[in-house]
Amino acid sequence: MDYTDIYEEYPELRDLKPRRTSPRRSRKRGLTNSGRLIVLLAVILAAAALLALILTVTRAETATVYGKDGEVKEVPSGELESYLAQGWYASPDDLTEIKLYAEDGSVVLARRGDAERLAEKGYYSDITKAYTNMYSEEGRTLYVPNTMVDVYKSRGWHDKLGDIITSLYKSDGSKLAVPKAQAAAYMEEGWTDKLLKVAKKMIGPKGEEEMVFNDDVDAYLKKGWTVAKRVVDPDQPMIALTFDDGPGKYTDKLLDCLDKNNSAATFFVLGELVETYPDTVKKANDIGCEIANHTWDHLNATSAGGAETAESVRRTSDAVKELIGKGTALYRPCYGVYNEDVLGEVGLPAIMWSIDTLDWKTRNADSTYNTVMDDVYDGAIILMHDIHEPTVEAATRLIPKLVEEGYQLVTVSELLEYRKGGAEKGQVYNSAKPE
């Protein structure tokens, strides 16, 4: 077989390099410098993460405690409470010295870390827990150990600022707070401690309420405001006028005076007279007075007993309810006598009194008037009888005078609500004068 020299026939191929047709074997090459650096960094990071993990696990199993002499120690976590009980501390802040106060007046230096434990023994970091701020009538103040408060009270000091400070007002809207010992001197210059003596509560066109000083009342009236009708201000002095044994033929005159002076009273009525004067009972209720219970026919409770007294009270309450749509919520024992059996059977708050005018005995208007004005105080419950003409004469003088003096004339229920938080069944109330 003849072979032709391909290069002879195609001489241009002689300059071309032959092409491999078999696979090329790869050659091993080493890492570059940058590659080695990357690997090294990865190894370092992995080692650091492992070390951190080991330290975290180790640290979770130990705790640091601090000694009184400044020593610091790593201890097993499970033994931490034991070390703290031995006088070590969990924080360097616990070593800080602080003052602690006791109610007996003693003061000690202690470490902050011991404060909670010492509080259980009556030592406090807050001085107000162990001491009381006391006030003198001249305006001085003094911190006194709690155990000494009663001693200082007996010496004329007070534990409430309100006991020695009083607010004074003028009709032009001026206000002033002064020690009570100095109040008399200011009152001689025209100031008063009874806001309602120089101001009125008024209601605006949209129902808004505001205390308006007397000098500005006319301006408010021109803007469409009106003087509020019997809105009780719990922050102002109030008293309860009470009338027993009625109603009677003079009661309507008394009601007219109360209505004219925007005031109310409580009438402890007899059931048999409720039937005699039904229109008077309705009128009293309509002007905001309170209808209360004095039994059907002035029954002596201790002589009659609990059951009979309760029936007399029930009968009277039913008669009142028929007239005004509600029964009586308060009871006044006739002659002021009662016992536990009576209170339990009647089941109403029993209302006594704190000022007895003895009007039934004196039958003298001046005597009744003077008794009230000489003894009246915020919270008083005053006993009178509207079946006596001299009493009603005295009352029609008293009512405007008391209002002028800044007293609100309220019902007994209102008085007890604002001064006692309400009245409970079977309990006795007389609103005695504070000492």
Q: What are the residue boundaries of the structural domains of the chain, listed by start?
A: 74-125, 129-162, 164-227, 238-429
Hey, what are 282's tokens? 């309705």
Count of C-beta atoms within a 10 Å radius of residue 69: 6
Q: What angle do CA 289, 293, 295 make, to 5 degrees?
A: 150
CA distances from 77 to 21, 81, 84, 91, 365 (A): 74, 8, 11, 14, 87
3-state secondary structure of 136: coil
Q: Give me the tens of pLDDT residue by residue for the chain, a chain 435 residues long.
A: 454 555 455 555 455 445 554 455 545 455 566 767 777 777 788 777 777 666 555 555 888 888 877 788 888 888 888 888 888 888 888 878 888 888 787 787 888 877 777 887 788 877 778 888 899 887 788 888 988 899 999 998 998 887 888 899 999 999 999 988 889 999 999 999 889 889 988 999 998 989 999 999 999 999 999 988 888 989 899 999 999 999 999 999 999 999 999 999 999 999 999 999 999 999 999 999 999 999 999 999 999 999 999 999 999 999 999 999 999 999 999 999 999 999 999 999 999 999 999 999 999 999 999 999 999 999 999 999 999 999 999 999 999 999 999 999 999 999 999 999 999 999 999 977 765
| Cis ω before 234 (30° cut-off from 0) | no
Contact call for residues 317 and 293 (beta carbons, < 8 A): yes
Taken as a whole, the chain contains a residue count of 435
Q: Answer whether 83's CB lies under 8 Å from 72's CB.
A: no
* Residues annotated catalytic, as ranges: 244, 385
DSSP 331-354: B--GGG---HHHHHHH-S-EE--S
The kind and range of the H/E element at 200 are: strand 199-203
Q: What is the pTM of this model?
A: 0.64
Q: Which fold has domain 238-429?
A: TIM Barrel (3.20.20)
Tokens 């109403």 belong to 348
What are the DSSP calls for 277-299, one per residue? -HHHHHHHHHTT-EEEE-TTT--
Measured CA to CA in angstroms, residue 332 lies from 291, 298, 300, 322, 418 at distances of: 11, 10, 11, 21, 20
Q: HEC states along 211-255?
A: EEEHHHHHHHHHCCCEECCCCCCCCCCEEEEEEECCCCCCHHHHH
